């Protein structure tokens, strides 16, 4: 079931148009989703609660490496996408190679771009792109006290005796 929610860019544009014709809003969330944790689940649950179809854009392996550094991602993009697609709140998943979601925003024109609490509405990098066509940015999820980087640092680091 999860894999059937994973789309290529063209397929996703077509699906988004069908949803719009049916009166649905499109909410876009994005991230690396490397080692899925409770912060990711809360972010996506809150994004879905904004109403409409939740599309999740997952960073490609190369873009995660560029953003997070060598040794990342832990899991390949197709596996990360499959895990995210298996979540009940998620309606569609797409893997994107860019470092941010500006191109995807231009293609999909989501009604709402949902970003996590590590941003403010003013600091969202793609904010101007969303506002330009009348969309809105929403900050959702719990406080940013969960991150894959921190989990890797704190839980997988060698323990000192």
In tens, the pLDDT along 44-94 reads: 999 999 999 999 999 999 999 999 999 999 999 999 999 999 999 999 999
In tens, the pLDDT along 96-137 reads: 999 999 999 999 999 999 999 989 999 999 999 999 999 999
> DSSP string covering the chain, please?
-GGGGB--HHHHHHHHHHHHHTT--EEEEEE---S--HHHHHHHHHHHTTSSEEEEEEE-HHHHHHHH-TT--SS-HHHHHHHHHTSTT--EEEEE-SSSSHHHHHHH--SEEEE-TTS-TTT-TTHHHHHHTT-EEEE-SS-S---HHHHHHHHSSPPP-
């Amino acid at each position: 079931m999860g894999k059937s929610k994973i789309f290529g860019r063209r397929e996703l544009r077509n699906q988004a148009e069908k949803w719009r014709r049916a009166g649905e809003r499109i909410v876009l969330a994005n991230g690396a989703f490397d080692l899925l944790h409770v912060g990711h689940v809360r972010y996506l649950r809150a994004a879905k609660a904004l109403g409409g179809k939740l599309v999740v854009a997952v960073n490609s392996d190369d873009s995660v490496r560029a953003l997070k550094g060598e040794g990342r991602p832990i899991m390949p993009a197709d596996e990360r996408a499959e895990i995210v697609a298996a979540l009940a709140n998620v309606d569609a998943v797409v893997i994107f190679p860019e470092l941010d979601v500006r191109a995807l925003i231009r293609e999909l024109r989501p009604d709402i771009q949902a970003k996590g609490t590590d941003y403010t509405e003013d600091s969202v990098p793609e904010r101007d792109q969303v506002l330009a066509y009348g969309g809105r940015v929403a900050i959702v999820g719990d406080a940013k006290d969960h991150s894959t980087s921190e989990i890797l640092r704190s839980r997988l680091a060698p323990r000192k005796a």
